[in-house]
Structure 1
């Protein structure tokens, strides 16, 4: 799958019951996963003996899991839960009705857009599995690394920008409808401050 080398392919079902038992999940957590996910299958293992990329200092191997969904509007917290329960680096293929999207949990759940499952592709690029994995995280998240930033730093900066943009938009709406001149002036000042901070983040 994903155009990955044939040597990496496998087909090992991961029974949900085994996950529930091993991690002693409560009934509510089980029900949430059951509501969204019908089947979990390990479809690829990326390891030095299967691809021509040496192990990294941190990433020795990683897995691709095909998650067959029961519905398209799933709860992404279930993907975060699976990531935390399975102590491996995992690239998820979330599939529903012939379409799929790729997902990774890296500080939060990051996902690509939906597309036909036949068109899904991912490239293995890097001098070792640390950089190959980081490049996959970048490809899935859509993060653009700016000069001098690590991946984690860039994710934090992007999140701050998004929050600021939301706050600026909210305050601009309030300022447009505010009737009291004093309050309107305060809102405009606050917008100006946030825009200056946003510019610094750039």
Structure 2
């Protein structure tokens, strides 16, 4: 699967990094990340009902595709999170480094708090690929469906539906719960290796078995 977006959605507008320094409230540490890790940012596509034959969604009104050209293969998630929180639309990030590309997206939902337009959840990434191999295909009858499909395409097996009618929100919640359990299991496995007392080893092992059962059920 490759990038399959209509010509009508192409935007191709360069966004100077200084725009982010000037218009967003960023810490010195985040500004340092911008300077050291990011070369340039291109606003590549603007997907909306006005540029496609898709209807507006209940939650999604516009999807932006930002290409972020990197100075090194690693990018701090906090930078993407900051952009996601500041931009009042849903975003697909395409990271580029030395001619290889990685698609990245977070499940982004309306925040309960009035202080933020969106709540930004975990990020999902593809592997580093040739650009034509990125899994980015515009599918669905409205922008809600198109956005859900982008998230599922990029996340791959991580967000595979357990049942056919599982919502994206439920898939994301299950994925994040699995990630948390995996971290807890690793921590307990490390703890049991260091523990010298047998009774405590048995206690930790019982906790470990319970967490592994919970993980299998997910």
Match of 2:162 in 1: 146
Q: How has the CA–CA distance of structure 1 residues 187 and 27 changed in structure 2, closer, same or farther, with 3 Å as cutoff?
A: closer
- Displacement of 1:89 after TM fit? 0.9
Number of aligned positions between the proteins: 201
Structure 2 CA distance, aligned partners of 1:140 and 1:119? 12
Higher deviation after alignment, 141-150 or 74-83: 141-150
- Tell me: CA distance 1:145–1:32, structure 2 relative to 1, closer, same or farther (3 Å): same
* Residue 113 (structure 2) pairs with residue 112 (structure 1): no
Bigger Cα displacement from structure 2, 17-26 vs 80-89: 17-26
Q: 3-state DSSP class of the match of 1:10?
A: strand
Residues 35-184 of structure 1: pairs in structure 2 closer than 5 A: 35-106=36-107, 107-142=121-156, 143-147=159-163, 148-172=165-189, 174-175=191-192, 178-184=195-201
Root mean square deviation, CA, Å? 2.2
2:46 is paired with a residue whose SS is strand
Distance of 2:59 and 2:191 partners within structure 1: 48
Q: Secondary structure at the match of 1:92?
A: strand
Q: Structure 1 residue 55: deviation in Å?
A: 1.3
| DSSP 3-state at the match of 1:108 | strand
TM-score, normalization by structure 1: 0.88
Q: CA deviation at 1:102?
A: 0.5
Aligned residues of 1:101 and 1:111 also touching (Cα < 8 A): yes
Deviations 1:113-145 (A, max 9, x none): 111223324111112110110110111122112
- Cα deviation for residue 3 of structure 1 reads 2.8
**2:135–2:154 CA contact under 8 A, matched in 1:** no
Give a deviation string over 1:34-70, Cα, whole Å, max 9, x none. 1111111111111223222211112122111111111
Structure 2: distance between partners of 1:161 and 1:121: 24
Give the CA deviation at 1:175. 4.0
| Equivalent residue, structure 2, for 1:8 | 9
Question: Does residue 18 in structure 1 map to residue 32 in structure 2?
Answer: no
Alignment partners' CA distance in 2, 1:164 and 1:60? 34
Q: TM-score, normalised by structure 2?
A: 0.82
Question: Aligned-pair distance for 1:2?
Answer: 2.1
> Does structure 1 conserve the Cα–Cα contact (< 8 Å) formed by 2:15 and 2:41?
yes
Query: Aligned pair in 2 of structure 1 residues 17, 178: CA closer, same or farther (>3 Å)?
Result: closer
